[in-house]
Structure 1
Amino acid sequence: MPFGWSWAFIVYLFALPILLFYLLFAPKRAVVAEVASQKTSAKFTKKDIVYIVGLSLLAGFVININSANSLRIPVIVDQLYLGSPRQASLILSGMMLMGILSGICFEGLLARFKKQLIIVSLIPFALGLFMLGVAHNLWLMLIGAMLSGFWYSIVVTSVFSNVSNKISPQLIGHATTLVLLFCNFGGASAAIVLSLFSKINPQPGFAFVIYAIISLIISLVLMFKTRFLSQK
């Protein structure tokens, strides 16, 4: 007996045992009463604000792109007659699976590139997006989707890692909230941005080419900025 597409949402039930295991086995932090006079009066400096806003914009940008991938890849596959809806869903699955691989590789990449990780990551990320934009077959699209999916996850993880490492512990909560706000805005605005790109150029892959160019420009700007600051 075949199942309808709505049965796919049953996968979310797997979150329930995860929640149960978390509640049963996650260590609980001891609650420590703090005297008001002992509370630190940590505040964001102007440099902190600029740094956090910059990271937030970057995170929102790459999440906007990742959401655009999910929206536009099936359209490209359909309009260019590259394959079936099932094949388009397999491409998206490959892109999502790269997030798991990136989590495994993140520690090694961070140890190798350190502060340069975001700069380095944006280059293959841009390459993957460019491949999506000019793809004329499913294999090229799959490689582009997997490349962008892998390095997207590395960039987002690097953003949160930098926040936790550079910001005072008392202010991490506020900084993380701002980053998450931009992340949600980036994801929610993907459809709007794609419609704006479509008005400029109706080709379905045009948005990815623009995304790739912007990503490469950001990487180059950060590279020159880092070198300039290191020389001072």
Structure 2
Amino acid sequence: MNLLVFGYGSLLYKPVPHYIGRYPGYIKGFARRFAQSSNDHRGTPASPGRVATIIHSDEWQDYAKSHPCGAQDAFPEDDQVWGVVYEIAQEHSFAVKAYLDHREKNGYTEERLDVYGPDNKIKFRDVLIYVGRLDNPAFVGPEPLKELAMRIATHAGPSGTNKEYLYQLAEHVRLICPESTDHYLETLTAKVKEFEQAGFAPPLESKDSAIIDQLRRSKATDVTLTKA
């Protein structure tokens, strides 16, 4: 059986290897938020960045209501997440699954879900997706939008700057289809660009560069695959 994987973060512009099909769609009952700490991709252990995760909408709203910063970060109308479904041929399914498990090891849990197409009908069932859980060590919860935007504007890691990750994600969500606008991503992007235009940028001190270089070298030994 071919493997189906839903991408909603960097997988939108860094596809899984060996895919034979790529299809637009969305999942229901989830919110996409920059609520996951990143100490190995868009930040460092001493200065983590933030990356996107998806959380069950009801869990997120309940959590946000009880959190001091929740009201500033809540988009209560968000209950669907646009992304793409990758189809991987059966002969590569095991290797790609192992690659994704390793890639998403920092605070994600796998689930199997239905994915809807632009026509609002179920297009795929039993699709693999990596979901953030509120109790995982990398989950940071809601943060004031201004503080979150400042962190994204001023952090970097072995995979690049934090703002580049956000900008690429927002752009590729827009490109999925005419209906795929994500108001949260658009609002956050605008705020980060305000800081960027004001001159805020990731630090370039030698200590930070050395840490990032060390992380890059360690990542070079990780599981790597190339698209067939």
TM range (shorter): under 0.3
Give the strand-richer structure, 1 or 2.
2
Give the helix-richer structure, 1 or 2.
1
- Please tell me whether Structure 1 or Structure 2 has the larger radius of gyration of its CA atoms: 1
Q: State the TM-score, normalizing by the size of structure 1.
A: 0.24
